[in-house]
Structure 1
Amino acid sequence: MLMFMLMALIAGFLLSNQSPINTDLSRIVNSPFIAGSISFVVGTLFLGILALTMSGRLTPSIGFIQTQPMWIWLGGVLGVIYLTSNILLFPKIGAIQTTILPILGQIVMGSIIDWLGWFGTAKVAMTPWRLTGIMVLVVGVLVAVVLPNSRNRDIRQFDSAVTHNQRTAVAGWQIWGVIVGVFAAMQQAINGHLGALLNSTSQAAFISFFIGTILIIIVALLIDRRLPTIRELKTTQPWNWLGGLLGSSFLFVTVVAVPQIGTGLTIMMGLIGQIIGSILIQQFGWWRSIKQQMVPAQVLGIVLMLVGVGLIKMI
């Protein structure tokens, strides 16, 4: 079990690097949706090669498709909703809420999925230890993410500007931010169950990413109505293409980990890895991101999250 928890932690750390990489790529191609499409295409190619190597095929049989419920194929759809919503939420509710609300939605929904055994997952009893651990972990997230950002004058000013004089609209976007997190938790549970049904984690990951790739390309074409130019692509650095590899690797690990340690714990370990990675990225300015020194609150938040996970495992 510890091995799968560590895998989810490392996968979350890797995923934290995807955002600044894709942000730099979106600057080059002048569109976050085109950058997302490029990332998805790269990830799909990687998972396709992985699936062919590990299982010898990309798609399931017709018989399998006909006998499964429609929701089993929703992983890729929910992934695209999560990606595009984060892009839309940022200018509507600001940086802090765009970060924290989906995280809270993921933690709550992941815990509910495990508790009720939804999407083919094994039921996990909601013991007092587990509930306490979840609450401690949420406090840790708030301390690590909200407290440092709320003390950053530039972030406070930006968030105040985007939410000023539009309270009703902001409330709607805030609710959607939580729902987006719920979708992300559902995606991991669905993909994990698909992998178990197919008896192939690589094939399940490929199918989810492939569906997401088709959808994000459609979204990009509808919004930007163009493809990236050769001139734009020539100005990229080799590391600008790593976003898709990191995102697809994270998806593959969650497909592996969810059947072993549950949706909730997979999400929580992945989130800890993402927060640790984000702090290090800001500390050292990786991927041309803006440097921001680590503060004691971030360290305290990570410690609280780890304590929360420890309490959750006391069952």
Structure 2
Amino acid sequence: MIAILIFTIAAGCALPIQTAMNSRLRAGFSQSDDARAVPNGDGRELMPVTGSSAEDGAITADGASAPGESMPSGGAFPSGPSAPSDRAVPRGDGGKPAFVRRSPSARRASLQAAVGAALVAFIVGSLTLALVALVRGLPLTVAPHTPLWAFSGGLLGATALVALILLFPHIGAAGSVILPLIGKIAAGVLIDSQGWFESLVRAMSLPRLLGVLAVLLGIYLAIIGPTQGWHRRRVGDKASTRTGETTLTSKARSTITPVYFLLGAGVGVLSAVQTAVNGRLTVAMGSSISSGLVSYSTSTVFLLLLLIALRWRPRRIPLTPWWMWLGGPLGAAFVVGLASAAPVIGTGPAILVALCGQITASVAIDHFGWFSTKVSPLTVERLCGAALVAVGMWAYSLL
């Protein structure tokens, strides 16, 4: 039991790292596919724009007061998670700015880049799991009478990863963590209480309910908090704009629409169902690595067919550090970890144990600024949030 818990926590740590790598890789694919010139409005010169987040689309110079993001002349749009869909580009002549709006082709390019980044992750992850299975001589046979839905984990995982990559520029780093976790916990509790997907039945009790609430509060304190959350965004919105700096409007920075909220929570629901489904496949195959290989292979085939349907052809290989291509093994570790833990401790507890690792890794990445992320030092509030998650996890898993 102790080994399962430790492995699941480590698997949870791998997920935020994979998300950071995939986001960087998606930006690289976007740069290779989408370099445009923006007219400055006077018909005489062009300003280069690099579509680093694949959100820029058709160019208009109508001077409309759409929510935008200022960019210094000759610069590139920020590729951070808060980049809005409509951007304002200074003309350089004191006139009205030209706005960059998303066109249908830009949305398609954004989807192509996200699917491409996810495909790379699943290919590398599949090769890693195949090598491990080959070295250990693990069987790939499935027990008879295994339900067909037990093989759907790959489709669920691929859909969830692509959706998360697409949502990242709109809901931000904190939103990409907190919103899926809400869906994961809600779906995990429902699956365990009803025994869906042949999972262990765990009735909801008052201590377990309080544990879930403690986890949710801890997630808010540890992930959002004053250093990244709404308080800082409101203060930042009132700050004056200095020449040459990029600033976001209040609407662009702080608004998470109900659509984004539901989509983010839906990603968490898909992940929770995938955990239960992969747990059933693990029982049928006798190995979490074997079931993870089947799941990842299914995801790879699905995404490859989707890219063929989208007719995506990258112009060049993204110029990113070599280690940015290693998100696949980390994602595989997460899938294998949850698939190993779900049949033993249940889907809900497995998700909550992994949350402990997710929050630990997220706090470390923010504190040290790993993977070119913005540094957000560890605070007492975030530390208390992590402790609340640990207490809530214990209450839900053991009481």
Assess same fold via TM > 0.5: yes
> What's 1:68 paired with?
146
Of 170, 173, 194, the match for 2:281: 194
Write the deviation string for residues 128-187 of structure 1: whole angstroms up to 9, x where unpaired: 2111111111111122123232233398757732776xx9xx323322322221111000
Describe the SS at the equivalent of 1:183.
helix
Alignment check: 8 A CA contact 1:131 1:312 kept: yes
**Which letter does structure 1 place at the counterpart of 2:354?**
G
- Structure of greater Rg: 2
Q: Quote the Cα distance in structure 1 between the aligned partners of 2:308 and 2:381.
A: 42
- Of the structure 1 ranges 301-310 and 79-88, higher mean CA displacement relative to structure 2 is found in 79-88
* Gaps in structure 1 of 5+ consecutive residues: none
> What's 1:44 paired with?
126
Q: Quote the Cα distance in structure 2 between the aligned partners of 1:246 and 1:159.
A: 35
Task: State the shift of 1:99 in Å.
Answer: 2.9
Of 360, 365, 385, the match for 1:301: 385
Alignment check: 8 A CA contact 2:139 2:285 kept: no
After superposition, the Cα gap between the structure-2 partners of 1:2 and 1:129, relative to the gap in structure 1 and judged at 3 Å, is farther
Alignment check: 8 A CA contact 1:283 1:294 kept: yes
Q: Quote the Cα distance in structure 1 between the aligned partners of 2:253 and 2:383.
A: 29
Task: State the shift of 1:251 in Å.
Answer: 1.1
> What's 1:153 paired with?
233
Of 107, 111, 115, the match for 1:33: 115
Counterpart check, 1:17 vs 2:108: no
Alignment check: 8 A CA contact 2:222 2:363 kept: no
**Which letter does structure 1 place at the counterpart of 2:252?**
A
Alignment check: 8 A CA contact 2:233 2:253 kept: no
Q: Quote the Cα distance in structure 2 between the aligned partners of 1:177 and 1:252.
A: 23
Q: Which has the higher strand share?
A: 2
Q: Quote the Cα distance in structure 2 between the aligned partners of 1:95 and 1:20.
A: 9
Alignment check: 8 A CA contact 2:275 2:342 kept: yes
Q: Which has the higher helix share?
A: 1
> Equivalences for 1:268-307 in 2 at 5 Å?
268-307=352-391
> What's 1:211 paired with?
298
User: Structure with the greater relative contact order (CA < 8 A, sep ≥ 6): 1 or 2?
Assistant: 1
Q: Quote the Cα distance in structure 2 between the aligned partners of 1:193 and 1:81.
A: 20
Q: TM-score, structure 1 length as denominator?
A: 0.87
Write the deviation string for residues 187-227 of structure 1: whole angstroms up to 9, x where unpaired: 01110110011112211100001111122233344447114
Alignment check: 8 A CA contact 1:189 1:263 kept: yes
- Structure 1 vs Structure 2: percent identity of aligned residues? 31
Counterpart check, 1:6 vs 2:97: no
Coordinate RMSD, CA, aligned: 2.5
After superposition, the Cα gap between the structure-2 partners of 1:90 and 1:268, relative to the gap in structure 1 and judged at 3 Å, is same
After superposition, the Cα gap between the structure-2 partners of 1:13 and 1:35, relative to the gap in structure 1 and judged at 3 Å, is same
- Of the structure 1 ranges 90-99 and 24-33, higher mean CA displacement relative to structure 2 is found in 90-99
**Which letter does structure 1 place at the counterpart of 2:251?**
S
After superposition, the Cα gap between the structure-2 partners of 1:201 and 1:96, relative to the gap in structure 1 and judged at 3 Å, is closer
Q: How many residues align?
A: 304
Counterpart check, 1:85 vs 2:182: no
Alignment check: 8 A CA contact 1:202 1:252 kept: yes
Describe the SS at the equivalent of 1:36.
helix
After superposition, the Cα gap between the structure-2 partners of 1:212 and 1:303, relative to the gap in structure 1 and judged at 3 Å, is same
Alignment check: 8 A CA contact 1:138 1:305 kept: yes
**Which letter does structure 2 place at the counterpart of 1:19?**
T
* Gaps in structure 2 of 5+ consecutive residues: 31-112, 238-247
**Which letter does structure 1 place at the counterpart of 2:304?**
I
